[in-house]
Chains A and B, each alone.
Chain A
């Protein structure tokens, strides 16, 4: 009886986290290079399996009782966002998998981003437009360009200026398993373990004068939100029923 009360409460909690994730996705529907988060839920193991050390339940039927639901994690959906043309020569987008490498907060740390809104700072260093982090070359060094000359970015990420003799390549990397991605805010990501980074696949193209828009699809999010809210309400209703049942029990037990 009481067990069911907790299962319904767990259902409400999971749906609430999911709703927060959807809200964040919708809030970032205009954030360049943003990748939507995916709330992943799983049914919990039966109570007896979840904690084998626990004293076996006295009532045998309870041993096989399901454990309700829990959030198993949040995945990052790396689906390509729509590409938008701009006038800015330092706007670049990745068409395909992969990330741009930018300098992390600590020395030697590398962060990843899909947001290619770059610009040249006062020293001529290529930096991210939002947080001003230096964009790294394939050698892991900041990229310094001559602001007086127009720049051209090739499909493989090579930047040339003027006569095209000098070429520096944008640092690009891919992540083998997107479960290793950790979002940091400011459109930056990092990986939870070092060996998660893999070289770029050949099919990804770098496009200049282009920006990748947010990967959030409002239809998917609104449908998820409706679903989540109703599941939340259904769980709440079950809590109410169980509460009513418990109150009935209390009246039966009352001594006249």
Chain B
């Protein structure tokens, strides 16, 4: 019956509404520093074969094609776009932008995964203990931990991740720590836990901690922060495509519905 058409159109509507959700979230985070946009990947569902290619007909001829009716579409997955966001110069000493791959490793609550999470948002603060913490509601601490001496007057972070402090009363810089970046084999397999934080999964593979500038990790830029990599133009074009395709699929439902009505009215 036209029931197959109804269901494949419905599968399209479902997948497209997921796409709308993802685009809305991307646009909502267009000004969220360090945010990475996601895209929805579609794939076709299985095909119902009413006749397999190569079957013989009544006259013994081999049919060159089969009759396959596809059953619609589904969301195969959402994929993170790990492209670099533009560095925005803030001039703030504790803003650090990663230019290239890699992520800051943060200590989170032990109940969250294995107690470690990863972020691209390098907006740090110094807490009451002198530790570098993230500008998040929970004040997650950078790992490996970096302790800044209490009477520091100036702090500089080199491109390769060395944190140099100038203590009051001296003119020389001393190294107080080394920022390391985590690198994943498949960063698109990370788990998004909100707060611009990601956690490792079996799909992402374990992190490799390396100094900035080493293969797989970018370099650091002090006094800048990475802007969201959401491109509003692309998102709006996708939004238009999503909405129109949604309408097209609702047309399929209407057509199937009217055909069913025709059948229902066959007999007077």
| Residues of A participating in the B interface, judged by any CB pair closer than 8 Å | 12, 16-17, 19-32, 34, 37, 40, 50-51, 71-75, 86-88, 115, 117, 119-124, 129-131, 147-149, 177, 179-180, 182-187, 192-193, 218, 221-222, 225-226, 228-229, 232-233, 236, 239-240, 243-244
Contact = CB atoms under 8 A, between A and B. Distances in A.
B122 to A, nearest CB: 20
Nearest to B5: A23
A224 B45 CA distance: 22
B44 A148 contact: no
Given A73-B66, A74-B69, A122-B185, A51 B44 contact: no
Contacts of A130: 41, 43, 76-77
A239 B266 contact: yes
Interface residues of B, number: 74
A31 B42 contact: yes
Contact of A183 (B1, B41, B68, B205): B68
B128 interface: no
Q: Which 5 A-B pairs have the closest CB atoms?
A: A73-B65, A148-B216, A130-B76, A27-B12, A122-B205
Contact of B245 (A30, A226, A243): A30
Contact of B67 (A16, A74, A193, A228): A74
A211 to B, nearest CB: 10
B244 A218 contact: yes
Nearest to B101: A148
Contacts of B109: none
B66 A185 contact: no
A73 to B, nearest CB: 3
B202 A24 contact: no
Contacts of B1: 16
A83 B231 CA distance: 18
A114 to B, nearest CB: 11
Interface of B: 1-2, 4-6, 8-9, 11-12, 15-16, 19, 41-47, 50-54, 58, 63-73, 76-77, 79, 81-83, 101, 183-186, 188-189, 202-205, 215-216, 229, 241-242, 244-245, 248-249, 251-252, 255-256, 258-259, 262-263, 265-268
Nearest to A17: B69
B237 to A, nearest CB: 10
19 contacts: A20-B4, A21-B70, A23-B5, A23-B9, A26-B245, A30-B15, A71-B67, A73-B64, A74-B65, A74-B68, A117-B79, A119-B79, A121-B185, A122-B205, A123-B205, A129-B79, A131-B76, A147-B183, A192-B54
Contact of A23 (B8, B79, B185, B188): B8
A222 B9 CA distance: 13
A240 to B, nearest CB: 6
A192 B185 contact: no
Given A19-B256, A20-B8, A185 B185 contact: no
Given A122-B204, A182-B68, 17 more contacts: A19-B255, A20-B8, A22-B5, A23-B255, A28-B70, A37-B70, A40-B65, A117-B41, A121-B185, A121-B203, A122-B202, A123-B205, A130-B41, A179-B53, A185-B45, A218-B245, A239-B266
